Structure 1
Amino acid sequence: MESFSSIECFVRSAEVGSFAEAARRLSLTPAAVGKNVARLEARLGVRLFQRSTRRLTLTEAGQRFLEEVAASFQTIQYAVANLASAEGQPAGTLKVSMGTVFGRLYVVPLLAEFLRRYPAISPDWHFDNRQVDLIGQGFDAAIGGGFDLPQGVVARKLTPAHRILVAAPTYLQQHRPITQPADLHELDGILIRSPQTGRVRSWPLTSREQEQSPLDLRLRMTMSDSEAACAAAEQGLGVALVSMPFAVPYLQAGRLLRVLPDWYVDDGNISLYYAEHKLLPGKTRVFVDFVIEQFARQGLAQRFDALGAL
């Protein structure tokens, strides 16, 4: 029977296409990873990788072997992770990706209670507004919206991802009342440019009655972040189209007001993403359950619904 470490080195190297990167994730040296893979190849009597100075690619035999062992290997990993706990409690490093401002406003405040319940878990939280490769980069979970859902990853809805129009009270006082989407064309627009594509997306507005209308703001400036757009709108620089979670603190404080409160942009959902496995590591399972529990307890789905109270 081949050693677990040799198979682990093979699987990780196949996932990332590099002995050096696999070594970094396994806390080994590249030489140790290479030797483990070579030992496995010698035992099997086949070459698993084609090696070059630039890349590492699976041979046909290597691809077939990976398909046969990957699922069982992950099951063993998760079983070990669940047993490797402190006094029966979930333990280990919890690597999670989340949006910078969204994480700071709505996830970080949950940290104290989470660690009170699960003191043996060590958070390793990454704040980034870009989608991560959940499995390839070794994340246990991610929180965000608009993620492509690759094979092997599931999404649990946390809240709707609505965008709304907001402006400073002083700005609105300087213009005629805005009662319908057609009134927007005379106003300065603060629009969001996608950090992924660099483009300003053409959003259709949706009404409470589910009617649709084009968003026709006069482009004044673009931002790549809703928090920055809220800050610009607060200065009276125009009407901003922003994600509801970022607008809530400004709306509650009266620093911004809704423009056309019966209209919004539907951008899908903000969800919690994690690998699809029957045997999740205990640390991941309790984190998923805890976040869903807390979002429900705080009524965040209702607060982020553009047709709600605000």
Structure 2
Amino acid sequence: MRAMVYRGPYKIRVEEKDIPKIEHPNDAIVRVTTGAICGSDLHLYHGMMPDTRVGMTFGHEFIGVVHEVGSSVQNLAVGDRVMVPFNVYCGSCYFCARGLYSNCHNVNPNATAVGGIYGYSHTCGGYDGGQSEYVRVPFADVGPGLIPDWMDEEDAVLLTDALPTGYFGAQLGDIAQGDTVVVFGAGPVGLFAAKSSWLMGAGRVIVIDHLEYRLEKARTFAHAETYNFAEYDDIVVHLKKETDYLGADVVIDAVGAEADGNFLQHVTSSKLKLQGGSP
């Protein structure tokens, strides 16, 4: 099969790999029909994720068709269309029993507090991901969900990571009826966070970014107010003015870990501060 293969920081290739095989009776093999590239994949690509090994295939947002099932699998059959959540979990350990699936104790021999994630380094279990033609899916009766006949693949693939991440961000905000919610970042996760805020009872949703095409999407898709922070001397002061100086009730950061500059910029900034200068 063809698969994306990691060859070191900033080096990826499309290469031939063996089609994965059933390794446990609870496994399934899924033929990928639609896969996505997540912003988090950049951490791997840039070499920022520990223990990302040469030869690994990325991809934790994918859907497909069941190609083969292990002898113990009961909920899936060959030919089923399935969406596969990004995290691998057993469904029965201490953490899974409490809904903390990303901390599953039974899927990652390399850590005690981090579960398994498809295509996200050996720190997260070493599972090959969905930027390939086939994927081995452990605990196939627990994670994958059947895709309804009426749902398009382009919509289903968003349910594997992007939409749940934005929804969870809004959920963490404990939004109360009528709250003013500000979302920083109008990428896919920010858009879903803004849309989800309405579902949770927000009375006002504001999205901040500096890319006009993303702000336009926030207006048409998420029905949010938008402001381009590049047009204001201080966006925080502007938000204060726009909220009668009360500020937001809930703020969701959907910008990303690498948006505040690279390592050299941080070192330079820290050095200037120590010397009494200005970054």
Q: Fold match, TM over 0.5?
A: no
Rg bigger for which structure?
A: 1
- TM-score by length of structure 2 reads 0.23
Q: Which has the higher helix share?
A: 1
- TM-score by length of structure 1 reads 0.22
Greater relative contact order (CA < 8 Å, ≥ 6 in sequence): 1
